[in-house]
Amino acid sequence: MKFIITLAFKNLTRYKRRTLITAFAIAVGLMMFIIVDSVLIGVESESMRNLRWYETSSARIMHEEYWEDRLLMPLDMSIDDPYAIIDMLDKEGITAAPRINFSADMILYSDDFGEDGNMPVQVTAIDPELDNTVFRFKETLVEGTFPEPGTNQMVMGSWFAEDIGAEVGYWVTLVTRGNGGFYEAMDMEIVGIVNCPNPNVNRTLLMVPIDTVDEYLAMEGNATEINIALPEDSDIATEVEQIKNLLEERGRSLHVATWDELAQDYVALAEAKRGGTGMILFLVFIIAAVGISNTMLMAIYERIRELGMMRALGMKDRSIQLAFMVEAAGIGLIGSIVGVALGVAINFYMVNVGVDLGFLMRDMDMGYRIQSIMRGAWSPSTLVTAFFFGTFLSMLVAYIPTRRALKMDIPSCLRHQ
Amino acid sequence: MIRIQDVVRNYHAGETVVKALKGVSLEITDGEFLSIAGPSGSGKTTLLNLIGCIDALDGGEIVIDETPVSKMDKKAKTEFRRNNLGFVFQTYNLIPVLTAYENVSFVLSILNVPEKEIEERTMGILKEVGLQGMEHRRPDRLSGGQQQRIAIARALVKNPKIVLADEPTANLDSKTGEEILKLMQSMNEKYHTTFIFSTHDSMVMDYARRLVSLHDGQVIDDQRR
């Protein structure tokens, strides 16, 4: 064994440049694997957090029929007495807040906006106090104030405000149909602008007080949804089951959807992207594998005579195979150490600073719920996997050409030029 | 004692069959210093390869010390070579990354000889072949003659019954070739190891105590001197 290790080590240093180039190829492959994986985990976890904090909450209670037709936002399929449910949940230690979602036509005036105009919008009516216990909009307020209950005040997403040239103090009118189908117009003053980290929300957000909307739209105290905040580390499926049981016990037949049910588009997209990224990683590894394979092929075919001599002198094929595989493992080990070190160094930057992709996210919907800074996340299992995979892969790709060379008869090996 | 009985070896090149050995029979006693001579293509290397158990014959039999080696399987042949045979090649076939010492000692490593004994035997044989003080040099820093001395030391270090040398002086100038032959001769006398070497060089043949001549795969002459 000592001889095998000595031989493998000396052969590694025999062609330093080739060893280093191959190790470098492995290192680059592993580094890319670590970074891509880190960014993917980072982006996904931040997207999930931004979904739960600004878009879907952890879970949402809705009328069964509202859930079916939720894209139409039917006000007549709302939840009766939502505060009774909220109190019930509060007693169980669960935070919840009501909301009314409705679509409207927003009229802009030339006095404020320079020219008259109108556009379709989606408006969210919130209970300003409770909503901030479930969502985190208050922390993202960059200008003005949050709407006061009972007022005609409105907050707007900063990208939305930028797009239409809105500023705090401007007035708009929301024209919509109330519960029952009557038309209603609400004059609203923009009192605050929030810079929400969830780009989908920041592009479209309009929030108004729920009691004001209740009166305008004749909701009679109903809400279209109750949003629930659950602890980050909780098992949402189990919690949702418990909430369903509580509702059933009180004779309330309502639908409770988890955040990932509510964000099916994102979940599907994330899965597809994960598959695509997996493909990229696979290709990176193929490139690294071809590099190692090529190096080992050259190393083996240059040493066929040497191999024949060792066999003639009575060295077992298994030992010769092992010598070449130890050599390949050595290349893999160097590549893995350098790759993981480079990956960790770059990932340190990715986790703590990140890459500002605001310019890209501003005008393009990539599906991820991150607004500008794309950050990585630490994944010790990825580092360990990358390290062992690099070494293992090297040994694996060395196996085949060595095996083939060992199948040649000894005189042919000794004659090999 | 090596007994070679009606050995036949054919090579196939496409549909053409090349008859390398056409029923060769020989008996070689222990401690002989024997040269197999003949022109290129006469079957010298093929015969050496068959005695060295690195090739398979198509007919006949080879028996070494009552062991029918030609009937052994691959694994048994490997073990037989490891324990009983030494090889010297025309192109030395040293491992370029290893030192002279390592090139010789690895033969003992694969025989699982204890480390201390490996050192003693390796240093001893290197001294005998005249390479004392050069143990740590790699082959690329040694002359052709010195490299062939390492190869001889490597063949002899495990005290084999037989050393097979395929054209051992072909890559050397005549003076160095003669030195190598004298070294092989002295080793043969000292250890009574059987030396069988192939050549087509008349100077080399002169050193042999027995000269077997091959032509077209057949023994045409067998002289003892």
Long-range contacts of range A370-374, CB-CB < 8 Å, 24 or more positions apart?
Answer: A370/A43, A370/A46, A370/A47, A370/A50, A370/A197, A370/A198, A370/A199, A371/A50, A371/A195, A371/A196, A371/A197, A371/A198, A371/A199, A371/A202, A374/A39, A374/A42, A374/A43
Do the Cβ atoms of A414 and B97 come within 8 Å? no
Torsion of CA B200, B201, B206, B208, to 10 degrees: -50
How many domains would you assign to chain B? 1
pLDDT digits (tens, 9 = 90+) for A282-295: 777 787 778 777 77
Do the Cβ atoms of B97 and A314 come within 8 Å? no
Q: State the nearest Cα–Cα gap between B100 and chain A, in angstroms.
A: 13
Element (H, E) at B62: strand B59-64
Q: What span, in angstroms and rounded, lies between the C-alpha atoms of B183 and B95?
A: 22
Do the Cβ atoms of B54 and A305 come within 8 Å? no
Do the Cβ atoms of A409 and B55 come within 8 Å? yes
Q: Quick one: average pLDDT of A171-176?
A: 95
Q: Quick one: average pLDDT of B54-66?
A: 91
Element (H, E) at A155: strand A153-157
Q: Please, which residues have CB within 8 angstroms of residue A79's CB and are 6 or more apart in sequence?
A: A61, A62, A63, A85, A98, A222, A223, A224, A225, A226, A254
Neighbour-count burial for B118-144, b at 16+ CB within 10 Å, e otherwise: beebbbebbebbebeebbeebbeebeb
Q: What sign does the dihedral A368-A373-A379-A385 (CA atoms) show?
A: positive
Q: Are A134 and A97 in contact (CB under 8 A)?
A: yes
User: Residue B36: what pLDDT?
Assistant: 93
Q: What span, in angstroms and rounded, lies between the C-alpha atoms of A121 and A18?
A: 62
Partner residue facing B82 (CB), from A10, A306, A314: A314
Q: Please, which residues have CB within 8 angstroms of residue A120's CB and are 6 or more apart in sequence?
A: A103, A104, A105, A106
User: Residue A401: what pLDDT?
Assistant: 83
Mutate to test the interface with B, among A1, A3, A324, A326 (most CBs of B within 10 A): A3
Do the Cβ atoms of A309 and B87 come within 8 Å? yes
Q: Quick one: average pLDDT of A165-169?
A: 94
Q: Quick one: average pLDDT of A358-366?
A: 68
Do the Cβ atoms of A3 and B106 come within 8 Å? yes
Q: How confident is the model at residue B210 (pLDDT cuts 50, 70, 90)?
A: very high
pLDDT digits (tens, 9 = 90+) for A263-279: 887 888 778 877 777 77
Convert A125-144 into a string of H (helix), E (strand) and C (coil).
Answer: EECHHHHHHHCCHHHHEEEE
Q: How confident is the model at residue A188 (pLDDT cuts 50, 70, 90)?
A: very high
Please name the residue of chain B whose CA is at the shortest distance from the CA of residue A316.
B78
pLDDT digits (tens, 9 = 90+) for B22-37: 999 999 999 999 999 9
Which SS3 state, helix, strand or coil, does residue B27 take?
A: strand
Which domain CATH number covers B37? 3.40.50.300
**Residue A318 near chain B (CB below 8 Å):** no
Which SS3 state, helix, strand or coil, does residue B169 take?
A: coil
Do the Cβ atoms of A314 and B110 come within 8 Å? yes
Q: State the nearest Cα–Cα gap between B215 and chain A, in angstroms.
A: 21
Q: Quick one: average pLDDT of B176-193?
A: 85
Q: State the nearest Cα–Cα gap between A323 and chain B, in angstroms.
A: 13
Q: Per mean pLDDT, which range of A178-187, B169-178, B207-216 is the poorest?
A: B169-178
Please name the residue of chain B whose CA is at the shortest distance from the CA of residue A314.
B82
User: Residue A37: what pLDDT?
Assistant: 85
Q: What span, in angstroms and rounded, lies between the C-alpha atoms of B94 and A52?
A: 69
- pLDDT surpassing 70 at residue A222: yes
Q: What span, in angstroms and rounded, lies between the C-alpha atoms of A28 and B21?
A: 55
Chain A positions in Cβ-Cβ contact with residue B109 (cut-off 8 Å):
2-3
Q: Quick one: average pLDDT of A103-114?
A: 92
Residue-range domain boundaries for chain A: 2-52+266-415, 58-262
Structure letter (DSSP) for residue B54: S
Partner residue facing A306 (CB), from B52, B81, B93: B93
**Residue B159 near chain A (CB below 8 Å):** no
User: Residue B113: what pLDDT?
Assistant: 92
Please name the residue of chain A whose CA is at the shortest distance from the CA of residue B54.
A410
User: Residue B89: what pLDDT?
Assistant: 86
Decide which of B105 and A365 is more confident.
Answer: B105
pLDDT digits (tens, 9 = 90+) for B110-163: 898 999 999 999 999 899 888 889 999 999 999 888 998 898 899 888 889 999
Chain B positions in Cβ-Cβ contact with residue A302 (cut-off 8 Å):
none
- pLDDT surpassing 70 at residue A361: no
User: Residue A83: what pLDDT?
Assistant: 93
User: Residue A366: what pLDDT?
Assistant: 67
- pLDDT surpassing 80 at residue A104: yes
**Residue B54 near chain A (CB below 8 Å):** yes
What tokens were used for A86?
């909220």
- Domain containing residue B199: 2-224
- Residue A356 burial (10 A CB sphere; 0-12, 13-18, 19+): exposed
Q: Are A410 and B55 in contact (CB under 8 A)?
A: yes
Chain B positions in Cβ-Cβ contact with residue A411 (cut-off 8 Å):
45, 49, 54-55
pLDDT digits (tens, 9 = 90+) for A91-101: 989 999 999 99
Decide which of A279 and B165 is more confident.
Answer: B165
Partner residue facing B102 (CB), from A6, A14, A313: A6
Decide which of B13 and A337 is more confident.
Answer: A337
**Residue B58 near chain A (CB below 8 Å):** no
**Residue A409 near chain B (CB below 8 Å):** yes
**Residue B95 near chain A (CB below 8 Å):** yes
pLDDT digits (tens, 9 = 90+) for A305-317: 888 999 999 999 9
What tokens were used for A296?
């080992």
- pLDDT surpassing 70 at residue B187: yes
**Residue B82 near chain A (CB below 8 Å):** yes
Of A312, A305, A310, A317, the closest CA to residue A399 belongs to A317
User: Residue A134: what pLDDT?
Assistant: 93
**Residue A71 near chain B (CB below 8 Å):** no
What tokens were used for A105?
């036509």
**Residue A411 near chain B (CB below 8 Å):** yes
Do the Cβ atoms of A312 and B83 come within 8 Å? no
Q: State the nearest Cα–Cα gap between A303 and chain B, in angstroms.
A: 9
Q: State the nearest Cα–Cα gap between B112 and chain A, in angstroms.
A: 10
Q: Quick one: average pLDDT of A247-266?
A: 87
User: Residue A158: what pLDDT?
Assistant: 92
**Residue B220 near chain A (CB below 8 Å):** no
**Residue A11 near chain B (CB below 8 Å):** yes
**Residue B151 near chain A (CB below 8 Å):** no
Structure letter (DSSP) for residue A72: G
Do the Cβ atoms of B55 and A411 come within 8 Å? yes
**Residue A13 near chain B (CB below 8 Å):** yes
